[in-house]
Chains A and B, each alone.
Chain A
Amino acid sequence: MTLAIEAVDLVKVFKGGVRAVDGLSLEVEAGTVFGLLGPNGAGKTTVVRILTTVFLPDSGRASVLGHDVVTASEEVRANIGLAGQFAAVDENLTGLENLRMIGQLTRLSRNTAVARANELLELFELTDAAKRIAKTYSGGMRRRLDLAAALLHKPSVLFLDEPTTGLDPYSRQALWGVIEELVNEGTTVLLTTQYMEEADRLSNVIAVVDHGKVISQGTPSELKSTLGATVIDLEMSSNEEADRLGRLLLEKIGKQPRLVGAGVELPLENGPAQVRELLEIMEAADLMPVRLDLRDPSLDDVFLSLTGHVAAELQEGGRK
């Protein structure tokens, strides 16, 4: 196995003492897609910034294609592409000028940069807007332009921080296609995302990050199987009833179910046999659902069961 990205015990503490990354390690095999998943503030963007040499880590080490991100950062930069979480587009330049500039700064000649820019504008369906100032672009167009900028020099390792946030479903599908094609050609991709569907579809390996650490890692199906085979979906007659049931289940079985309106969802650790226990609890409290459903777990469930404490703390207004 060849590693394209390796990080060992990375730590980054910001002024004011926020431990954004707190002993994080990861390994990404060359030619695969690695998904970083985590709640807001988990440290995903900071990790991406360390791996792309934007930030220096306080301790630990990391390398990309075998080059240390601190001591051989020039080599790292020559071989990576980054599309950051917030589109870094120069509003005063046209789409084409933006790409030409980034292309020249990634060591393409001016003519090659323009040719490559036109190719990518076409790929991201921005050709019609190529000569317009980026100030007039919609949010999704800026994002696509930013993604194009990350691909100019055909980097062998690509970092995408929430690449599809703000894209319409059509553009999202199109981007997934582009990423899959790049991976087929041998590109390694590290992406962060808030969309489970995206992580599920694209990633070979997913790491769930919370409080600056990897708290769980595996292929999408491995992660799902850690939850047990089945999730129960209950629909109550009102949101209030759902809330009451949520509190009751937390008290009786020690797990916080996920509440969505009048819906209550809970992974069954002991399999379908646990249905009976739940029904007894609900019956005793006179809280019967209007509908009951059993299904396979999704990555959403994995994410929530791993990081559910965050939601709980948020409800108490605890976490900054």
Chain B
Amino acid sequence: MTVAAKVHSEVVAERGLSRFFSDMFVVTERNIIALVRIPQSLFFSSVQPIMFVLLFRYVFGGAINVPGHSYVDFLMPGIFLQTVAFGSIGTAIGLAEDLHKGFIERFRSLPMARSAVLAGRTSADLIRNIGVLILITAVGILVGFRIHAGIWAFLGGLLLILLFAYALSWGFSMIGLLAPNTETAQVMSFPLLFPLTFASSAFVPVQSMPGWLQPFANNQPFSILVDAMRALSNGGPTADYVIKSLLWSVGLLIVLAPLAARRFRRSF
């Protein structure tokens, strides 16, 4: 009695890598369109970092003493990292919204590669970060930022930052899936990002911080990434920073991506 009905010609499920990539592309495209069309997300990913550049360059910068080059050269590597890190809040919010508006439910009923939902989200973030880093570099140059270590080293530094941001996207995907709503996703993100961004070498030299804070500020990943970027932009020894940065990025990616994927499967 339990025979499959063959009223319509039955569709055979498609599998494999080509399906994964084509689905990932479709989801990425959708997220990019949303990014451009939502005024808030456009503001947070472009206007806000520009304001930080101007604020630190012209308001706080005069009061901060840095060794070596000018303050704006010290600042920009920090701004690069801060921008992509703050941008990943959008990942958490976007996924929480998809989950609670029933969008993920729809995705889960489609014959698509389920892994493409998170992969498409993180790829869209990667593309956004590329655009924003180009924009911020241009703004930096307008306010006096100069690359001293050569263009290729500088681009290599940006790649390091992009890789680190990609790993962060997976972590914030998980926050988005865990949060009971979009507001909470945002609230959960800040306490993580604030200490990592501001208790780091991004805006001020770590030596100016109180002694008890310095071990954390020196060794946490945001500082390591900023130091690597700074070395690749301003010159100086790079190998140690770059290796540590790569280890952090790859390590976080290896841990966070499977965790987020597992959380995605378990949310139902």
Binding site for B on A (CB under 8 A): 1-4, 6, 30-31, 49, 52-56, 63, 65-67, 74-75, 77-80, 82, 84, 86-88, 90, 92-93, 97, 101-102, 104-107, 133, 149, 153-156, 159, 186-188
Contact = CB atoms under 8 A, between A and B. Distances in A.
Given A1-B1, A154-B8, A78 B105 contact: no
B23 A105 contact: yes
B13 A78 contact: yes
Interface string B37-75: 110000000000000000000000000000000000000
Contacts of B17: none
Contacts of A107: 11, 14, 19, 111-112
B32 to A, nearest CB: 10
Nearest to B3: A2
Contacts of A88: 101-103, 105-106
A93 B27 CA distance: 12
B128 to A, nearest CB: 14
A151 to B, nearest CB: 12
Interface string B72-89: 000000000000000000
A216 to B, nearest CB: 22
B212 interface: no
A54 B30 CA distance: 21
Contacts of A101: 26, 29-30
A1 B1 CA distance: 6
Given A30-B7, A107-B14, A153-B11, A56 B103 contact: no
B109 A77 contact: yes
B10 interface: yes
B262 to A, nearest CB: 14
Contacts of B19: 107
Contacts of A92: 33-34, 37-38
B22 interface: yes
Most buried by B among A86, A88, A154: A88
A62 to B, nearest CB: 11
A283 B35 CA distance: 71
B107 A105 contact: yes
- Provide the main secondary structure of the chain B interface: loop
B192 interface: no
A75 B15 CA distance: 10
Given A55-B268, A56-B268, A77-B13, A31 B7 contact: yes
A48 to B, nearest CB: 9
A187 B8 contact: yes
Given A86-B102, A90-B34, A52 B5 contact: no
Question: Which DSSP category, helix, strand, loop or mixed, fits chain A's interface?
Answer: loop
Contacts of B1: 1, 3
Given A88-B103, A90-B30, A102 B7 contact: no
Contacts of A159: 109
Interface residues of B, number: 37
B2 A3 contact: yes
Contacts of A90: 30, 34, 103
Contacts of A187: 7-8
Contacts of A186: 7-8
Contacts of B268: 49, 54-56
A228 B4 CA distance: 37
A93 B5 contact: no
Contact of A3 (B3, B11, B15, B107): B3
Contacts of B109: 52-54, 77, 80, 82, 84, 159
A86 B107 CA distance: 14
A87 B102 contact: yes
A75 B5 contact: no
Given A3-B2, A92-B38, A74 B111 contact: yes
Contacts of B112: 105-107
B14 A54 contact: no
B142 interface: no
A84 B101 CA distance: 11
B14 A78 contact: yes
Nearest to A31: B7
10 contacts: A3-B5, A54-B105, A77-B109, A77-B110, A92-B38, A93-B30, A107-B11, A156-B5, A156-B7, A156-B8
Contact of B106 (A63, A78, A149): A149
Contacts of A55: 268
Interface centre among B6, B12, B110 (most CB of A within 10 A): B110
A65 B38 CA distance: 41
Closest 3 CB pairs of A and B: A66-B4, A30-B5, A186-B7
